[in-house]
């Protein structure tokens, strides 16, 4: 059982990294205009922060540190979803590409919420 937990931990590290990469690939397709430039900057930062903070959580100094890092992961996932919703509003023709990222950000929120609840 402990090996499964280790594997799942690293699977989520990979998943959050791949999510940030998908966001980068998405924003490269957005039209270059003043609104998109600001949205791109925000969503790239928040999506990358999800995985970065999760990796820090895995190196936590204790339970309290882990709890706070995972809360930051959830916060950043929520922020990413917010920016994706604005990107969709400004680029409705890319709905088919944005919707899966919205779904994944929602899944991250649920995963991190579950982790938070279990660590209380």
- Domain extents for the chain? 2-119
> What CATH topology corresponds to 2-119?
de novo design (two linked rop proteins) (1.20.1440)
Question: Using CA atoms, how far apart are residues 120 and 116, in angstroms rounded to an integer?
Answer: 7
- Strand positions, DSSP E, 62-105: none
> What's the pLDDT tens digit per position in 39-88?
999 999 999 999 999 999 999 899 999 999 999 999 999 999 999 999 99
Q: Are 52 and 32 in contact (CB under 8 A)?
A: no
31 vs 3: which has the higher pLDDT: 31
Q: Are 89 and 43 in contact (CB under 8 A)?
A: no
Q: What pLDDT sits at residue 1?
A: 41
> What's the pLDDT tens digit per position in 80-105?
999 999 999 999 999 999 999 999 99
pLDDT at 117 over 80: yes
Alpha-carbon torsion 112, 16, 60, 65, what sign?
negative
Instruction: Retrieve residue 26's tokens.
Output: 């998405």
Q: What pLDDT sits at residue 55?
A: 95
């Amino acid at each position: 059982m402990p090996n499964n937990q280790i594997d799942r931990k690293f699977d989520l590290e990979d998943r959050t990294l791949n999510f940030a990469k998908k966001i980068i690939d998405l924003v490269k397709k957005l039209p270059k205009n003043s609104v998109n430039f600001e949205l791109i900057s925000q969503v790239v930062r928040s999506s990358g922060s999800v995985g970065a903070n999760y990796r820090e959580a895995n190196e936590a100094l204790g339970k309290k540190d882990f709890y706070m890092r995972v809360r930051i992961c959830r916060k950043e996932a929520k922020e990413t979803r917010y920016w994706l919703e604005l990107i969709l509003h400004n680029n409705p023709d890319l709905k088919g590409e944005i919707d899966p990222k919205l779904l994944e950000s929602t899944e991250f929120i649920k995963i991190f919420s579950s982790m938070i609840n279990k660590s209380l």
